[in-house]
Each structure stands twice: as structure tokens, then as C-alpha cells.
Chains A and B, each alone.
Chain A
Amino acid sequence: MIVLGIETSCDDTGVAILKDGQELLTNLLASQTELHSVFGGVVPELAARKHLDTLLPLLDKATKDSGISLREIDCIGVTNRPGLVPSLIVGATFAKGLSFALNKPIVPVNHLEAHAFAIFLERKVNFPFIALVVSGGHTNLFFVEDFGKMQPLGGTLDDAAGEAFDKVAKLLDLGYPGGPVIDRISKKGDPDAVDFPIAKVDGYNFSFSGLKTAVATFVKKNPNVKKEDVAASFQKAVVEALLLKTDLAVKKRSVKTVVVSGGVACNSYLRARFTEHFGSQDIEVLFPSPKLCTDNGAMVAFVASYRYQKGETADLTFDVVSRSLT
């Protein structure tokens, strides 16, 4: 079984070819981070146009690299929700065209489900587990019972965690993207230097907007403060908020495994803190390697593989959706 995975839900274009749901033949990514860096995170156009330019050459390279011809593909998986609508449309339309021309089935894939299951490309995980998907656009907790069976527990009520990283980096004049730079300079800062608030929100939800405002206010009042200290204290506040609700979910659902995925899961402080906290309670914490944490086509191909096997293919009339948990 050969499955092609296509991901265009935000800035990055991902194309991957997966064999038998486990052997990753190729996993290509065209990132716009460089473009964003040049413009300081602000670009003149939507990512949609970039996806349009990138998809075909990326698919060409994927078939060449893997030695798989288009005819050999059994199924096409494509992210259709949630995300930036014009970007999703480019990927979905491209996939539909392929599906029609090759006469192969298509599976629309939920981007958040793909993140939650990306870990399976590297190792097996026992069900059930708690998945925390945390990135620039998403901050969501799920109770995962089986392949394709995940229950949304909560999410952010305002800004995503990764968005808070980007905006705080901007407030501190650290450049773009904010996640890696805050992670790096925080190593030279004191996480207890500033006591930033952790928002009190109901259930399994998160809120990071107030924290962003608190950092802005603090920096204004203390213009000569060491940026490393502010970054480290901010990072600590975000990670503690994520840990608090993940821990609550782990206890209430009595699971033995936590999977953290999405771009923010690359953060080294988060990895260390989660591992330390859950490790002491004999609960396993798993992170996909950074390449599979950020947006990619491989995770889409993985979800499409098990859905295809279950016969969950779609006809070409499916739509794209900007906000959707399931």
C-alpha cells in the first residue's frame, strides 16, 4: 500500500510517500520560514500562492527520490481542516486533481489528528493516551482511544502557544520565528526572574493572551531588563500552563502515556519539564523528532493510510474547513 500525503494548512508545503503505513519513503518540506525571516515575519502575500508554486516540483522530487511512480500510488491523503482556507484549498484541489486523473481514492485528513499520530511513524504507542498538539496556530488536548478515535478535551480560548512565542519575540525585538530564538536565549536567562501569571481557565482550556499583555507591560515598565530573563520567565509560564492541563487530563483519564506534538513540541525547556514531571510518576512522555513535530506530509499520509484501510475515503466534493477539532 503506497499512500501520498499532502499538507498545506499553513505556511509550509509538505509532500510525503508512505509505504504500508510505516515505511517513510520520502518526506519533503518547503518551508516559508526563510521568506518570513527576510520580512521579519510579515509577508506581502498569503502562503496560498507559495503552495501553488511549490506543490508540483515537490511531488516530482518525491516520486523521483522514492522511485515510486504516480501510477503506483494507492491512495492520496490531504489536509482539509483546520487551517488557512486559501492554503487548504490549494492542497485539496491539487489532491483532487491527482485523484481524478489517476483514478485513485482520496482521504481528507484532519491536521490535528495527523499531529497526534505523527509519533507512530517512529514507534508504536499503546492506547489510550493524551495528545497535546501545540503549535503556532493550535493548542489542543485530546484523549486518544484508537486510530482515528480522539476526543477533544480543550484548547486555547485566545492565542495559540506558538503565536504567543512569536509575539513575545517581537516585543523583545528578537526576530522571527520566535519559538527557536526564545528557546535559545532562555538558556542564558533565569526562569524565575519574573513571575508571569498563568491564566486560570476552566477545564482543559488554555489562555495565552493575558500572558502576552503581561510581558508587554513588564517590558515597558522595565526597559533595561535582561531579555534572556524575560524570555526564560515567559517560556516557563507557557510550559507550566501546558503542563497543568495535560497533567489534569492524564490523571482524570488515568492514562500512562502522553504524546506532545506540533512545532512548540520542539522547545527544549518543554521537553525537559514534561519528561521530568511525568517521569517521576512513571508516565511515559513521547515527542516525535523535530522533523515530524512541525507540519509535514508524512503524518497526513499516516492518517490517510489507516483511514483508507478502514474504507474511509471521500468523493471529490469534500470541502475545506478553517476551524474544526474532529
Chain B
Amino acid sequence: MRRISRSEKGTLQIAKEVAQKLTSGWLVLLSGELGAGKTCFVKGLADGLGIKEHVTSPTFTIVNQYQGDVTLFHVDLYRLSCFPEEDISLDEMLKEGIVAVEWWERDKEFFSNYRPRVEVHMKVLDENSREIELKWIE
């Protein structure tokens, strides 16, 4: 499914709609170049999951955890070349809540084994517009 977002607000709204379909155990995989709006999308997810806290970039902390109606783990592999399985357990996080991963393509094979998942690819069309492709794999 492809959606077009014309603004940051539009991206937040699409993400909020996606959040409605998610339950604990879902993996959200986000891809797209720097500035495409991946973190913005996760802000929308958090909003849709009833999280009141500000979602900030997890680039330095690798994993941020938020509590809403369900737990949301926000993971960013930007600074890593693969998922640090020995230090962080994806299985444990999925048992506890929903996991959203930015730069998951750094370790494509690893994540491709997981279901259910939704792959979110964000393409920059122009300054404000983004094409958001959603692939649901159950």
C-alpha cells in the first residue's frame, strides 16, 4: 500500500493510523534516507499508542523505551552495522511490546525472519512530500 504525505502532520497522521492496527509483538521496520521522516513516523506511532512523552532520536542511545497503552521500543541502527543481538534481545522486546527499528536494512537478513512485521519505506518526493510504502507481512 502506498500513501502520500504532504507534510510532517500528514506523516504523523498516517503513522497514527498504522498504530491502530498494531498490538504487542509487532515489528515496525523503517527505511528511507536521512531526513525522510522515520523518527517523525515513530512520533506518530507513539501518539497513536497513547504515549505522552516526547519521542526523541535514538541514534545515540540505540534503544529508547516508552510506556503508553502498550510499550514501544524505538531502535536505531544508524551507528551500527548490524543488530547487537548479544547485548539487546529483540525477542524479549517483542514479548513486552511493539518494536520500531530505523535503519533496519543494516541487518536485513536478521529482521526478515520476524513476523508479524510491517515494513515502512519513506521516499522523499520534494521538500515536504513523502511517499510512504507500507508492506504488511503477517
Residues of A in contact with B (beta carbons under 8 Å apart): 10, 36, 39, 41-46, 48-49, 82-86, 136-137, 155-160, 163, 167, 170-171, 209, 212-213, 215-217, 220, 322-323
Q: What residues of B have a CB within 8 angstroms of the CB of A44 in the complex?
A: 80-82
Minimum Cβ distance to chain A for residue B34 (Å): 5
Q: With the chains together, A160 CA to B62 CA distance in Å?
A: 13
Given the interface pairs A39-B81, A137-B61, the reply to whether A212 lies near B35 with Cβ below 8 Å is yes
Q: What residues of A have a CB within 8 angstroms of the CB of B35 in the complex?
A: 171, 209, 212-213, 215-217
- Report if B87 contacts A (CB, 8 A): yes
Q: With the chains together, A45 CA to B106 CA distance in Å?
A: 12
- Report if B54 contacts A (CB, 8 A): yes
A217 touches B127 (CB 8 A): yes
- Report if B57 contacts A (CB, 8 A): yes
Residues of B in contact with A (beta carbons under 8 Å apart): 33-35, 37, 39-40, 54, 56-57, 59-65, 78-82, 84, 86-88, 106, 124, 126-127
Given the interface pairs A41-B79, A44-B80, the reply to whether A84 lies near B60 with Cβ below 8 Å is yes
Minimum Cβ distance to chain A for residue B11 (Å): 12
- Extra contacts besides A49-B86, A85-B61 (7): CB < 8 Å: A43-B80, A43-B81, A156-B56, A158-B57, A160-B56, A216-B34, A323-B56
Q: With the chains together, A5 CA to B81 CA distance in Å?
A: 31
Q: Which residue of A lies closest to B103 (CB)?
A: A42
Majority secondary structure, B binding face: loop
Contact of A209 among B33, B57, B87, B106 (CB under 8 A): B57
Q: Which residue of B lies closest to A205 (CB)?
A: B54
Minimum Cβ distance to chain B for residue A205 (Å): 9
Q: Can you give 19 contacting A-B residue pairs, CB < 8 Å? A: A43-B80, A45-B80, A45-B86, A46-B62, A46-B87, A48-B87, A84-B60, A136-B60, A137-B60, A137-B61, A157-B54, A159-B39, A209-B39, A209-B40, A212-B35, A213-B35, A213-B37, A215-B35, A323-B64
B56 touches A86 (CB 8 A): no
B84 touches A322 (CB 8 A): no
Given the interface pairs A45-B80, A46-B80, A86-B88, the reply to whether A157 lies near B33 with Cβ below 8 Å is no
Minimum Cβ distance to chain A for residue B45 (Å): 15
B79 touches A157 (CB 8 A): no
Q: What residues of B have a CB within 8 angstroms of the CB of A83 in the complex?
A: 61
Contact of A322 among B37, B59, B61 (CB under 8 A): B61
Q: What residues of A have a CB within 8 angstroms of the CB of B127 in the complex?
A: 217
Residue from B33, B79, B88, B126 with most neighbouring chain A CB atoms (10 Å): B79
Q: What residues of A have a CB within 8 angstroms of the CB of B61 in the complex?
A: 82-85, 137, 322-323
Q: What residues of B have a CB within 8 angstroms of the CB of A170 in the complex?
A: 34
Contact of A160 among B40, B54, B60, B81 (CB under 8 A): B60
B56 touches A157 (CB 8 A): yes
